[in-house]
Amino acid sequence: MSRWLAYFKERFPFPVYVLLCAGYVVSGFALAFRDFNDGQKIRNFVKVPYLMNAAVAFGAIFLFFFLLRMMDEFKDFKKDQVAHPTRPLPRGLFEPIEFQQMIDRLWLGGLLLGSPLVLALAGTPAALFYLLFWFYLWAMYKEFYIGARLQNFPLLYACSHQIILLPISCFAIACFGNEEGYSFSAVLYGVAVLGSFFSYEVGRKLDPKAPLILKTYLTVYGRSLTFFMVVALQGLAATAAYHLEVAPWIYVIEGLAAASALLILFKPEKFKVVEAMVSVSLVAHIWIGLATGDL
């Protein structure tokens, strides 16, 4: 148990993921009931079934992020032996086979126990979205059964691993069971999260001194294209946010994140600033329910 506690502390900071998962729940509730008046929203949220649905949504998404982190750690084991030898797996805190077995058990448990629970408490649409992103998670883990070839193309690799955010966002809304609330709004929410999360994915891999084995966006695509990616992805998130009719402060965050990308062109050693701004943008878009005026 002490080894897993050490792993949580180092590689899965609990407060960060609680913040992300709670954002999905709050935004899911807000968007599911955005056409209801304020009194109806409050009455719905305090009902026991909806509190249970919130717990189901939170638990499923939390387990997804934890399993995703473990899968990434396992897949990056050989890279981390070179680039990050002090991380738990390369330094020997776990044996790779032990780590792999835990991944298999958690994924299978999420399938056999999680899907019936979601079906019983949140309904069929939520269960279908859950199964969609759960099986897609396994495909990501197996690199879509095309081996390491996909990793030779970082942008394509990232695209294939970001699409999963769409069914997760729909799941967060579908958990509250309002069919009118998780159609177009769910797609827009998913696109907003996708744009900001993808931007974060690029922004956290900008160290110009990173080992070549990591194949960061900066080393593979260069400054100009990497700059364009961050700006375009923030623009994608902004477009979805606009159609969700959000408060202006979201656009301020998107603008600052896009503007910070100029550092990629002129001060690449300041990459931490870009990483911080796209991180703020990510949190803001996951919590976008607070900016829609629907709570």
Residue 295's pLDDT band, with cuts at 50, 70 and 90, is low
Q: How high is the pLDDT of residue 52?
A: 87
pLDDT digits (tens, 9 = 90+) for 63-72: 999 999 999 9
184-203 vs 154-162: helix axis angle to the nearest 10?
A: 140
**Amino acid, single-letter form, for residue 291:** A
- 8 A C-beta contact, residue 28 and residue 172: yes
Neighbouring residues of 159: CB distance < 8 A, sequence distance ≥ 6 = 198
Q: Which is more confidently placed, 84 or 280? A: 280
Alpha-carbon span 109 to 112, nearest angstrom:
5
Name residue, tokens 């050693």.
Answer: 269
Q: How high is the pLDDT of residue 49?
A: 62
Task: Pull the structure tokens for residue 201.
Answer: 């994915």
CB atoms under 10 Å from CB of 183, counted, come to: 11
pTM given for the model:
0.91
pLDDT digits (tens, 9 = 90+) for 168-195: 999 999 998 755 445 788 899 999 999 9
